[in-house]
Amino acid sequence: MGRTSPVAQERRSVEELEDLAFELRQKLLNLCGTYEGAVHIGGDLSSADIFTALFEYGLNVDPTNLANPTRDRFVLSKGHAAVAMYIAMAIKGFFSYDGIVDTYGQLDSAYGMHPCKVQLPGVEASTGSLGHGLPLAVGMAMGARGRGATHRVVTLMGDGETGEGSVWESALVASSNKLGNLVAVIDRNRQLMTSFDEERVTLEPYTDKWAAFGWNVIHVDGHDMRALVEAIDSLPPTDSDKPTVIVAETVKGKGVDFMEHNLAWHAGSLGAADLERALAALEATRTKENV
């Protein structure tokens, strides 16, 4: 991500990343088929490619050395996508997928519906209240600058939460303080919990707004792994003077045809029949994309 890191030599190919993103979605569906409560499945599916690109390619993180001061910091602002993050981290080697399945959502589990840094080593910030991730990331980036550190701070937001004033206040602080070590990635799936976002808050012209706030803007298809990799590779050095936002156009429920663009699947659970149908749809989507 614009600098030399020990992870750079181990970076995955685009094809490998695509396979891992499929694995993430597959494991997500299987978890939803075993958990009796609701999982925020729509936004998990829309962000699966982003999580894979970050944890398997972009972020300088080592699951065996969580205290490494040179590691990149990742903040999940859209905390309700915690399951997708947990699975991405499990695939990376932070912990086991089976541990997530066995305890997810239970009292005292490390794998709650929203991430908790006290419960789960490797999580940099406890999140869930939307609009808070970018302010946290700005503070972490400013602290790194003050210490002369060269790591990057990355946050993943949902586009719905960018209707909140705290996001734009933080955007101003970031550009005013020339935080080139800060990257915000936006899962632009254009859906809220019960409506499509432009019906409630007009965000367009979206990329123009970020540019007007002094950010370096990269606009990509959030399901095109090659485009995500190229966006990561094009990030400016951490000592540059502009924060970067990657606006990733996505589809809520991506990969499962009956969930895509469907407000009913913001959150839900899967019975045996639904799970079988969802896995078949996911496999069919993959086959179609590979033709």
* Domains defined for the chain, CATH in brackets: 14-290 (3.40.50.970)
Given phi > 0 = left and psi -120 to 50 = alpha, else beta, which region is 69? alpha
Question: Which stretches does DSSP call E strand in 103-262?
Answer: 153-158, 182-188, 216-221, 244-249
Q: How far is the CA of 20 from the CAs of 27, 53, 217, 224, in angstroms?
A: 10, 9, 27, 13
- What does the pLDDT look like over 10-66, one tens digit per residue? 689 999 999 999 999 999 999 999 887 888 899 999 999 999 999 999 999 999 999
Q: Could you report the per-residue pLDDT of 3-26, keeping only the tens digit for each?
A: 434 344 468 999 999 999 999 999
The pLDDT, as a whole number, for residue 38 is 81
Average pLDDT over residues 85-96: 98
Query: Which residue in this structure is represented by tokens 């003050």?
Result: 146
- Beta-carbon count within 10 A of 273 CB: 8
* 93/71 Cα distance (integer angstroms): 16
What letters, b where the CB count within 10 A reaches 16 and e where it falls short, cover 206-230?
A: bbebbeebebbbbbbebbbbebbbe
Between 198 and 281, residue with greater pLDDT: 281
Tell me the pLDDT tens digit for each residue of 219-260: 999 999 999 999 999 999 999 999 999 999 999 999 999 999
Q: For the residues 154-162, what does the mean pLDDT come to? A: 96
3-state DSSP call for residue 46? helix
The answer on pLDDT for 1 being more than 80 is no
**Count of CA atoms in the C-beta half-sphere (13 A) of 115:** 25
214: left (phi over 0), alpha (psi -120 to 50) or beta: left
Is the alpha carbon torsion for 15, 17, 20, 26 positive or negative? negative
